[in-house]
A and B are shown apart, each in its own frame.
Chain A
Amino acid sequence: MAEFLAMGGYGAYVWSSYTIAALVLGVNAVLARRAERAVLHALAHDLNGDDDDATA
C-alpha cells in the first residue's frame, strides 16, 4: 500500500493531479445539479408572488 501511494517517488505529483481533477469534476457535478434546482426555485417563487392559483 505504501509502495502504491509512493508511486515510485512521484506520489506528490500523481496524487495532487488526481485530487485536483476530483475536486474540479465534483464541483462541476454539484453546480450542474444545482443549476436546474435554482431555476425551479426561482420560478416557484415568482409563481407564488403573482399567481396564487398555482398553489390551489
Chain B
Amino acid sequence: MFAFLHKYASLMHFYRLSARWSGWLALATALLMAYGLYGGLVTAPADYQQGDSFRIIYIHVPSAWMSLFVYMCMAGAGAIALVWKIKLAEIWLRASAPLGASFTFLALVTGSIWGKPMWGTWWVWDARLTSELILLFLYLGIMALDNAIEDRRTGARAAAVLTLIGVVNIPIIHYSVEWWSTLHQGPTVSKLDRPSIHIDMLIPLLVMAFAFTTFYFAAALARVRGGILAYDRNTNWVRDLVGRGTVRGHG
C-alpha cells in the first residue's frame, strides 16, 4: 500500500502516468455535456412553477456543487501537504484554486441571473448567497497568498493553512438554507428517499454534475503536470524531457 502510494506520489511517475488521463477526461466531459445539455435544454419538461427559467439549474447546481467539492479536494490536499509534506498535494491544491474560484463565480452569476425573474432581485444578502460569496473571496485569498510568497513550497503551505481555516465555511454554505430563512430554495436532490424533482429533470442534472466533475479533473491535471515540471525543473528526468523537446523543435 505504501509502496503504491509512494509510486503515485513520485512526481515523475505521476507525470508519466497522467499523460493520457487528461485527454480521456476531456473526452468524457464533452460526451457527458452533450448528453446533459440535450437532456436539460430539450427533453426535460418545463417546470410547473418556474417555466423554462428552471433550466438554469443545469449549470447553476453543478457549479455550486463543484465550488464545494473542489474546496474539499483542496482541503484534503492541504492536510496531506502539511502533515506528510507531499509535493503532489501542494501542486494539486495550487492547480485547483482557479478552477474552484471559477465554479464559485459561475454559481453566483447564474444564481443571480436565475434570481432576477424568480425572486424579482439579482441579489439578497441572505445566508446562502453571502456564504457562497465568502467562498469566492476565500479562493481568491488562497491564490493571492500563494502568489505573494516567493518560495514555492512555503507559499503552498501557507495556502494550505488558509484553505483548512476556510473549511469552516463549507457546512455553513450547505446548511444555510436550513438554519436561516432565505429566498434560496431548499435541497431538491439530496433527499434521496424522495427527491422532489421529476426523473426527466433529475437525470440531465446528475449527468451535468458528472461532466463538471470530469472537467475539473481534466483541467486540474493539465495544471498539475505544469506544476510538476516546475517543481522538478532541476532533476534529470525533466532536463531529459525538455532536452528531447528541444531536439524535436529544431528538427
Chain A: number of interface residues, binned into ranges: 35 or more
The answer to whether A21 touches B59, judged by C-beta atoms less than 8 angstroms apart, is yes
Residues in chain A near residue B250, CB distance under 8 A:
55
Please measure, in the bound complex, the distance between the C-alpha atom of A24 and the C-alpha atom of B98, giving whole angstroms.
Answer: 11
Beta-carbon contacts of A18-54 to B below 8 Å, as 1s and 0s?
Answer: 1011001101110111011111100110111001011
Number of A-B contacts (CB under 8 A): 111
The residues in B between 177 and 230 inclusive whose CB is less than 8 angstroms from any CB of A are 215, 218-220, 222-223, 225-227, 229-230
Chain A residues with CB below 8 A from B247, complex form: 55
B6 at the interface (CB under 8 A from A): no
| Residues B117 and A28 in contact, CB atoms below 8 Å apart | no
Any A CB within 8 A of the CB of B53: yes
Is the beta-carbon distance between B219 and A29 smaller than 8 angstroms?
A: yes
Q: How far is the CA of A28 from the CA of B73 in the complex (A)?
A: 18
Interface residues of A (CB under 8 A from B): 4, 7-10, 13-14, 16-18, 20-21, 24-25, 27-29, 31-33, 35-40, 43-44, 46-48, 51, 53-55
> Lowest 3 CB-CB distances: which A-B pairs, in order?
A36-B226, A8-B52, A10-B53
